[in-house]
């Protein structure tokens, strides 16, 4: 009897924890007043995506894997190239940059990752919001920025918006998976194995304001495989403003 | 009811209660012009503007204040670090020990203590102290210093700090933010906040 009761209690805990973790998952936000229609004549600069793939150690640390990252980068680049035509507006691929110019672009991509992470943690995750932003949140204000320095990104002069993509995949190691099973069967703790973060964001290249963000802390698709990378890109650019998909969705009653 | 069943239901109830209340994640409001005690120490601050204090404490004597999230602007107060203890909580005392503040630590060595702490805690290779000079903190003679580093997210950050030793304890405030946009945007807010910090006599 005590065994059954214990199992019921642990399952209840697990269900609650899983349900609660879902709060921080996929969300999309648009800056108030921002609209981008298809074929608007606006130009979107596609910034080289940040891709890091590795393993999550038993202790939960991220251990990068150069081979996986290289494969994922190629797969994601190809998937993005295929998807460009469906985005509804002209997409310019960021020019090949060298030295300091390349570093500027990379640093802004990392800043985008930090801003997106703050949005996910402190705006999308309702229970964790910052008290000073409560009024904004009640009014549905989405006000985040990368700063006006985005104008210095190579290729920014010929475009209106920049599309940033940030991907981090940590596949659970064998040790981590065993820990997950042992923790669930033993003390009934919910240990997460693997992390699949993905952020896509559209930024105004004149003001640096974040206009649209799609963020998911549990993305699907194995980016090390061609099909998986296509699925990932599809998820990242779901409902991208002005895209074929967004236009079709808007037409639905 | 056996002890096992009772304990299990208590665990479940606690689990449900904490999740339902959101108390685990609730960050605190630090309202403009209202005095606030720092990390249960004798240090207080009356913020000249509204701030948020994050619920997650990085160490026994530390607390984090922010405007947009610690990724974008992180003000960490260290309220009376006792000799023999590290600035931040050690993840693993044996495998990943952090440098300790000791009775022999001199004020001029505090910037290096922070550097060693960041290198070990954040597991970063790049950290440069850019300036160290005498300056006031909590109305006493202390040290002001600045630094640069690249965090684990590969984003270069800048930092500015003030520290002082009072009654063999370390009191310090640090400000860290990405060098792009966020550091300059929040620097004057940090300085006025640091100016507003006081210690009970």
Convert the pLDDT of each residue in B25-38 to its tens digit. Answer: 589 999 999 999 99
Decide if B18 is inside a domain. Answer: no
Does the residue B15 lie in any domain?
no
- On the question of pLDDT at B9 being above 50, the answer is no
Q: Does a structural domain hold residue B136?
A: yes
Say if residue B200's pLDDT is above 70.
yes
pLDDT of residue B145: 98
Average confidence (pLDDT) over A138-166? 95
Q: How far B122 CA sits from the closest chain A CA (Å)?
A: 12
Sign of the dihedral through C-alpha A167, A173, A179, A184:
positive
Report which DSSP code applies to B56.
S
Beta carbon pairs, A and B, within 8 Å: 97
Residues in A closer than 8 angstroms to B2, CB to CB, are 2
> Is B17 a member of any domain?
no
Is the pLDDT at B13 greater than 50, yes or no?
Answer: no
Number of H helices, E strands in chain A: 7, 8
pLDDT of residue B6: 46
Give the C-alpha separation, B6 to B4, whole Å: 5
Structural domain span for residue B162:
25-199
- In this predicted model, which residue has the larger pLDDT, B96 or B15? B96
- Report the pLDDT value the prediction gives residue A5, as an integer from 0 to 100: 52
Beta-bridge partner residues of B148: B128, B158
What residues of A are in contact with residue B4 (Cβ under 8 Å)? Answer: 2, 6
Could A111 and B16 be called an inter-chain contact, meaning their C-beta atoms sit closer than 8 Å? no
Of all residues in chain B, what percent are helix, strand and coil, respectively (each to 5)? Answer: 25, 40, 40
Per residue in B140-158, pLDDT tens?
A: 999 999 999 999 999 999 9
- Mean per-residue pLDDT over chain A, rounded: 86
Least confident of A27-36, A116-125, A140-149, A190-199: A190-199
pLDDT of residue B25: 52
Contacts of B15 in chain A (CB under 8 A): 12-13, 16-17
For residue B8, is it within any domain?
no
CB contact under 8 A, A132 and B156: no
Q: What digits encode the pLDDT tens for the residues A208-244? A: 999 999 998 788 889 999 999 999 999 999 989 999 7
Q: Domain tally for chain B?
A: 1
Whichever domain contains B77, its CATH number is 3.40.1000.10
Q: Does residue B4 register a pLDDT over 60?
A: no
Average pLDDT over residues B180-195: 98
Establish if B2 belongs to a structural domain: no
pLDDT computed for residue A172 by the predictor: 85
The confidence score (pLDDT) of residue B160 equals: 98
Pairing assessment for the beta strands B51-53 and B43-45 based on DSSP bridges: unpaired
Residue B16, domain member (yes or no): no
The verdict on residue B157 lying in a domain is yes
Nearest one of B74, B69, B87, B80 to B39, comparing CA atoms: B80
Shortest distance between the Cα of B158 and any Cα of chain A, in A, equals 13
Residue B112 has pLDDT above 50, yes or no: yes
């Amino acid at each position: 009897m005590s065994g059954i009761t214990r199992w019921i209690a642990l399952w209840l805990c697990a269900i609650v924890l899983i349900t609660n973790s879902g709060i921080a998952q996929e969300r999309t936000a648009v800056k108030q007043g921002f609209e981008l229609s298809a074929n608007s004549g606006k130009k979107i600069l596609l910034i080289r995506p940040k891709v890091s793939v590795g393993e999550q150690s038993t202790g939960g640390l991220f251990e990068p894997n150069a081979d996986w990252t290289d494969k994922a980068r190629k797969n994601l680049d190809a998937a993005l190239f295929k998807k460009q035509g469906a985005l509804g507006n002209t997409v310019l691929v960021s020019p090949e940059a060298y030295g300091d110019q390349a570093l500027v672009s990379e640093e802004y991509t990392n800043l985008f990752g930090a801003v997106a992470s703050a949005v996910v943690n402190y705006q999308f995750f309702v229970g964790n919001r910052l008290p000073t932003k409560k009024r904004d949140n009640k009014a549905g204000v989405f006000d985040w920025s990368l700063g006006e320095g985005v104008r210095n990104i190579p290729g920014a002069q010929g475009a209106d918006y920049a599309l940033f993509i940030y991907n981090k995949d940590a596949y659970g190691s064998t040790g981590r998976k065993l820990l997950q099973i042992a923790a669930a069967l033993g003390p009934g703790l919910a240990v997460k194995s693997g992390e699949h973060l993905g952020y896509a964001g559209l930024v105004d290249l004149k003001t640096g304001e974040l206009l649209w963000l799609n963020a998911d802390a549990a993305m699907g698709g194995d980016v090390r495989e061609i099909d998986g990378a296509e699925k990932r890109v599809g998820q990242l650019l779901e409902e991208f403003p002005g895209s074929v998909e967004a236009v079709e969705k808007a037409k639905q009653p | 009811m056996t002890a096992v069943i009772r304990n299990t239901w208590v665990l479940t109830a606690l689990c449900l209660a904490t999740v339902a209340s959101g108390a685990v994640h609730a960050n605190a409001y630090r309202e403009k012009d209202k005095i606030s005690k720092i990390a249960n120490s004798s240090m207080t601050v009356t913020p000249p503007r509204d701030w948020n204090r994050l619920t997650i404490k990085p160490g026994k004597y530390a607390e984090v204040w922010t405007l947009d999230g610690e990724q974008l602007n992180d003000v960490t107060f260290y309220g009376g670090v006792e000799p023999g203890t590290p600035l931040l909580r050690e993840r693993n005392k044996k495998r990943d020990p952090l440098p300790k503040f000791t009775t022999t630590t001199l004020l001029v060595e505090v910037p290096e203590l922070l550097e060693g702490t960041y290198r070990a805690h954040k597991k970063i290779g790049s950290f440069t102290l850019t300036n160290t000079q005498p300056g006031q903190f909590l109305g006493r003679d202390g040290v002001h210093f600045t630094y640069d580093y690249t965090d684990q997210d590969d984003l270069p950050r800048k930092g500015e700090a003030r520290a002082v030793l009072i009654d063999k304890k370390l009191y310090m405030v640090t400000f860290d933010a990405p060098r792009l946009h966020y550091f300059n945007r929040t620097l004057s807010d940090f300085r006025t906040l640091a100016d507003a910090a006081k210690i009970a006599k």
